[in-house]
Amino acid sequence: MTDVIHLLPDHVANQIAAGEVVQRPASVIKELLENAIDAGSTSIKILVKEAGKTLVQVTDNGKGMSVTDARLCFERHATSKINSAEDLFSLKTKGFRGEALASIAAIAHVELKTRQEDDEVGSCIRIEGSEVISQEVCVTPVGTTICVKNLFYNIPARRNFLKSDTVELRHIIDEFQRVALAHPNIQFSLLHNGSELFQLPETNFRQRIVNIFGGKTNEKLVPVEEDTAIVKIHGFVGKPEFAKKGRGEQFFFVNDRFIKSPYLNHAVTAAFEGLLKDKAYPSYFLYLDVDPKSIDINIHPTKTEIKFDDEHTLYTILRSSIKHSLGQFNVAPVLDFDRDDTLDTPYEYSQKDVTPPKVEVDPNFNPFQNDRPTGHKSSSGYRRDRSGGGSWESLYNGLGRDNNGTVSGFDQVEFESDEVTGNLFGNIDDKEAGSTTFQLNKKYIVTTVKSGILVIDQQRAHMRILYEEMLKNITVTSAVSQQLLFPLELQFSVNEMELLKEIKDSLEQTGFIFSELRKDSVEITGIPTLISSSEVAILLEQLLSDLENEVPGTGFSQVDTLSKSLAKGMAVKSGTVLNSADQQNIVNSLFACKETSLSPYNKPIFITLTVDELDKKFM
């Protein structure tokens, strides 16, 4: 039998290895940023075109490379960070395996320009698919500039797996934020297709968070500080009332490296126990400083997962420190047994006798007396003038008494109900709608059909009605808007604003009117007729969260997600009292829909109890 095992060519091996490190343009951004930080840069500029598919350029002012290092850095496992396996447990740098540049050069057109401070000229290297095209001297500032063009040009199958520009840009912004949050002492800028997305000056941790996520973030942050022999924790958590529907603002940094840890995330959630609403997630920006020997970074190709020596102790310390901060800043209720000095009796009053206050009462005061003397002395000791106040009998002018002595004239008086709800479908008289329906437990609408009884979930039914209406408005006709007397100004992160700009046209079809979209805020002057202005912020936040979680591309999938999210936010909720007209209109509108049995989320809308099933219950 002939031999079947052989060695792969270098260019094929590099392309296969690149799949572990470079998954999309965001992976290139991450690796190049980490190299720039390791080079001691204080200013880093990122230029991106077409979400990184055409160009990714990273420019830094670090220490640069020599001619030999510039050529050697593209070789696999060429590194200046480690010399032996023991060095893996004392790492203080971002990169160390020497895989990033070799992997990127295997699947793209790469151009490197670099110069050290002592050199008069720098080096320029061009590589295509791991093959060096040219190397020559060039004039360039101190530092390094790397241009990565035409990503996955030699692997068309991998390029076809890339998502739309909007989705890929979202991943780039995520990676950029993770690096920028970990290094507030470095100036960052990010440009996409010529427009500036971020311009972050050198600052502290708190201000860096505010610069990335908007000015309103500052009031939402609660500082966390804890210093122990095992770990030093500092950072911020968000107040419970500002918890979000998604996990977008959750960041862990260990020794200035972003990590993902479900175990530590559970510790944070446990600290917020009892303070969060259902399906709400707290925001946190937590920095953990630990001994490099107590962690293992080299367990995942992207280095976003870390193995800790003593996870249980770390869990306990993290949960306790967050609980302490929430209580210390009066965010969570606490039992405080310390004595408040302001409640003590002053020293000069300690020997004085207690004198009860005197209350004077005028025994001749009669509020119904018309000709009482003016200026009597009241119980408080002050003189008041009650003249000119009209007789109390004048309140009942026009009311007569019948033969039985009962006061008449109240037949036209209307009493307000304890629970008043507006009509969902306009002003319709209950008599016109009929009384063929009734509401059960403020959740279900019960009506009769020929075969028996129909029990309808009011929220799911209204959601289906609104969903089909939204789809029609977005794709066919525009909905009616209600103008706001005072425009609404809402704050969003840069990532959310990019998503909002993408769906702006579809939202305007549903009834929203945007007067201005800024870098981190939006001004709304008109909203759909079915919602109130107080619900707009919650509705848009839920919508953006749904779109981010489903990560839709352009086309019908995005319209469908948008319609479902808006219908869910605008639908009448369980526990809402509906009058007979609204109940009947929900029933009529539901059975006018194209799909009547399932909600937009594929949950059953109604059940039918037939007469035969009811007869069996009485047997």
Same domain? For 194 and 221 the reply is no
Which of 582, 575, 574, 578 has its CA nearest to residue 426? 582
Beta strands 122-128; 109-115: pairing state: antiparallel
Residue 349 lies in a domain: no
Which pLDDT belongs to residue 381?
A: 47
Which pLDDT belongs to residue 378?
A: 46
Residue 537 lies in a domain: yes
Residue 407: pLDDT over 60: no
Mean pLDDT of 365-387: 56
Which pLDDT belongs to residue 382?
A: 47
**Kind and range of the H or E run holding 415:** none
Q: Which two tokens stand for residue 393?
A: 């009998």
User: Which of the residue ranges 63-77, 287-301, 325-339 would you say has the lowest mean pLDDT?
Assistant: 325-339
pLDDT digits (tens, 9 = 90+) for 166-196: 888 888 999 999 999 999 999 999 999 988 8
Which pLDDT belongs to residue 402?
A: 60
Domain harbouring 220, CATH code: 3.30.230.10
Residue 95 lies in a domain: yes
What letter represents residue 522's amino acid? V
Residue 389: pLDDT over 60: no
User: Which of the residue ranges 242-251, 258-267, 352-361, 394-403 would you say has the lowest mean pLDDT?
Assistant: 394-403
Residue 507: pLDDT over 80: yes
Which pLDDT belongs to residue 232?
A: 93
**Kind and range of the H or E run holding 445:** strand 444-449
Residue 65: pLDDT over 80: yes
Residue 555: pLDDT over 60: no
Mean pLDDT of 449-476: 89
Same domain? For 195 and 246 the reply is no
Same domain? For 454 and 600 the reply is yes
Using alpha carbons only, what angle is made at residue 407 by residues 406 and 413, rounded to the nearest 5 degrees?
A: 130
pLDDT digits (tens, 9 = 90+) for 195-209: 888 999 999 999 999
Same domain? For 172 and 292 the reply is no
Residue 434: pLDDT over 60: no
**Kind and range of the H or E run holding 55:** strand 55-60
Which pLDDT belongs to residue 369?
A: 73
What letter represents residue 600's amino acid? P
CB 48 within 8 A of CB 191: yes
**E-strand spans in 310-414?**
none
Which of 308, 328, 348 is a domain's end point? 328
Residue 427 lies in a domain: no
Rg, the chain, Cα only: 35
Q: How far is residue 206 CA from its own chain's centroid?
A: 18
Tell me the percentage of the chain whose pLDDT exceeds 90: 28
User: Which of the residue ranges 426-435, 484-493, 609-618 would you say has the lowest mean pLDDT?
Assistant: 426-435
Domain harbouring 453, CATH code: 3.30.1370.100
pLDDT digits (tens, 9 = 90+) for 515-530: 888 877 899 999 888 7
Residue 20: pLDDT over 80: no
Number of domains in the chain: 3
Which pLDDT belongs to residue 274?
A: 83
Which pLDDT belongs to residue 90?
A: 67
Mean pLDDT of 549-573: 74
Please tell me which residue, 421 or 517, carries the higher pLDDT value: 517
CA distance 179 to 259: 11
Residue 353 lies in a domain: no
Which pLDDT belongs to residue 89?
A: 66
Q: How many CB atoms lie within 10 A of CB 462?
A: 28
Which pLDDT belongs to residue 379?
A: 45
Tell me the pLDDT band of 431, cut-offs 50, 70 and 90.
Answer: very low
Which of 200, 232, 253 is a domain's end point? 200
CA distance 492 to 276: 21
163's torsion region: left (phi>0), alpha (psi -120 to 50) or beta? beta
Q: Which domain holds residue 300?
A: 205-328
SS3 for 187?
A: strand
Q: Which two tokens stand for residue 320?
A: 């306790």
Residue 367 lies in a domain: no
Residue 167 lies in a domain: yes
CA distances (Å), origin 87, targets 84, 92, 97, 253, 470: 6, 10, 11, 21, 59
Q: Which two tokens stand for residue 103?
A: 């992997």
Which of 41, 62, 60, 54 has its CA nearest to residue 192? 54
Mean model confidence pLDDT for the chain: 82
Residue 423: pLDDT over 70: no
CA distance 37 to 187: 11
Mean pLDDT of 591-608: 91
Which of 147, 168, 200 is a domain's end point? 200
Which pLDDT belongs to residue 426?
A: 55
Mean pLDDT of 282-291: 91
pLDDT digits (tens, 9 = 90+) for 130-167: 888 999 999 999 999 999 999 988 888 888 888 888 88
Tell me the pLDDT band of 619, cut-offs 50, 70 and 90.
Answer: confident
Beta strands 295-296; 284-289: pairing state: unpaired
Residue 4 lies in a domain: no
Same domain? For 42 and 163 the reply is yes
Same domain? For 220 and 163 the reply is no
Which of 494, 454, 546 has its CA nearest to residue 212? 494
pTM metric for this prediction: 0.70
